Amino acid sequence: MYLEKLVSGQWTGTMNLTEPQAGSDLAAVRSRAEPQEGGSYKVFGTKIYITYGEHDMAENIVHLVLARASGAPEGVKGISLFVVPKFLVNADLSLGARNDVHCVSIEHKLGIKASPTAVLQFGDHGGAVGYIVGEENRGLEYMFIMMNSARYAVGMQGIAIAERAYQKAVAFAKDRVQSRPVDGSIKASAPIIHHPDVKRMLMTMRGYTEGCRAMASVAAAAYDAAHHHPDADVRRQNHAFYEFMVPLVKGYSTEMSQEVTSLGVQVHGGMGFIEETGAAQYYRDSKILTIYEGTTAIQANDLVGRKTVRDGGQVAKGIAAQIEATEKELTQNGSADALAVARRLTAARQAFVEVVEFVASNTKTNPNAVFAGSVPYLMLAGNVVAGWQLARSLLVAQAQLEEGVDTAFMQAKIVTARFYADHLLTKAPGMRDSIVEGADSVNALALDSF
């Protein structure tokens, strides 16, 4: 009744999870669903942050709503999932009466203002008609199939907006004339791209974006292999790898986008703080990416609990073994760039493994110590995996360069991988220290002293 028109785009859809008192803590969901004769339910409650929750750009809007059926247990185990259409659908698939779901306000946001989010009220006039998806009390399980897909997609949004900010910053840096180069190579004022610090900022933007894009691409390939490879063991291995990657793609790529879009404003200087240049919009818009579909801390909780502690860090250590194999390839390559990247990657991998062992060994006995460093662990893991993928790209680019393929592009890949290793991967050992040795200072201050 709904799926074909949703997939075609004839009807649009929404995900309704959040309520005023239930943000990340979905156990606090209060929306309720009362069963009716004939198998339908009457749904009552308030949902917030509903993207395109109301509009007239499609014939119908299909709301997927988390609510508690009558008699459901407390907590997340009592949540069910319901289809609640804006317009009821007749047996012949024609549209019927307007359902009892209404937009009561549009939220005023920091960014992404072209994407309206609505407060939706269900059931103010007798109850919104809803239909259960699957079985009662399994709603969160169903919703998380979409949530995991959305988390990957949000990571891609972070990469996309970072790329756009980089492109705009490069164009501005090549055009904006300010000051003579410090080396005297040009005797008059020159485009700011000649200045070393502007190059540093642009290379940071480029390195982060390319590293995260490579990480996300490898994760996507693993997802495909997990679903379609003929060998069951290979499918399982790729599934485990992809599941480990999801919080990294979502968490690291979106936090990265904040830094990249901020640097984009900085490259523009004062012009970046002026709305007309457009640089500030990327900075504002990217902020939501670290929040929705689970904040960075929620991604870190997932990385610690489900992806590291549950298997004693075995998947993480397996990834570290793959990284070590790449280090050997770099060493065998023998070029100055490959050897330099290998040295940085080795130090980063060792830091990663030490943190994995710390997390796996201490989460149950000293959870406050581990979760004080959970987001830094996520950032360390994302940094290392992105750096690993750029190291792999360096090897491919050098091989292509020797064959004379797209010389400028391949040289740029090599330089970007080297920059990432020298300037971004080098953060990993320090992050290891803050995670493994810094928990006490996170938790020490008396609450009244904050």
* Structural domains of the chain sorted by starting position, each given as residue range(s) with its CATH number in brackets: 3-137 (2.40.110.20), 142-294 (1.20.140.10), 305-438 (no CATH)
Answer whether 78's CB lies under 8 Å from 23's CB.
no
Q: In this structure, what token pair is assigned to residue 265?
A: 């404003």
**Under 8 Å CB-to-CB from 188, ≥6 apart: which residues?**
180
How far apart are alpha carbons 259 and 427 in whole angstroms? Answer: 15
Yes or no: say if 375 and 296 are a contact pair by the CB < 8 Å rule.
yes
pLDDT lower than 70: segments of the chain? none
Dihedral, CA of residue 108, residue 113, residue 115 and residue 120, to nearest 10:
10
Residues labelled as active-site residues: 293
Kindly tell me the sign of the dihedral angle through the C-alpha atoms of 263, 268, 272, 278. negative
What is the C-alpha separation between 389 and 210, in angstroms, rounded? Answer: 9
Classify each residue of 266-301 as buried b or exposed e, where b means 16 or more C-beta atoms within 10 Å of its C-beta: bbbbeebeeeebebbbbbbbbbbbbbbbbbbebbbb
Prediction pTM value: 0.95
The model's pLDDT over 246-271, given as tens digits with 9 standing for 90+, comes to: 999 999 999 999 999 999 999 999 99
Q: What is the pLDDT of residues 81-109, one digit of tens each?
A: 999 999 999 999 999 999 999 999 999 99
CB 205 within 8 A of CB 264: yes
Cα distance between residue 438 and residue 435, in whole Å: 6
Residue 26's CB: how many other CB atoms inside 10 A?
17
User: How many residues appear in the chain?
Assistant: 450
∠212-340-378 over CA atoms, to 5°?
A: 35
Proportion of the chain above pLDDT 70, given as a percent: 100
Q: What's at 50, amino acid-wise?
A: I
Q: How high is the pLDDT of residue 293?
A: 93
As a whole number of angstroms, the distance between CA 125 and CA 42 comes to 11
How many CB atoms within 10 Å of residue 264?
A: 30
Which residue, 34, 66, 38, 36, is CA-closest to 50?
A: 66
Residue 220's pLDDT is 98
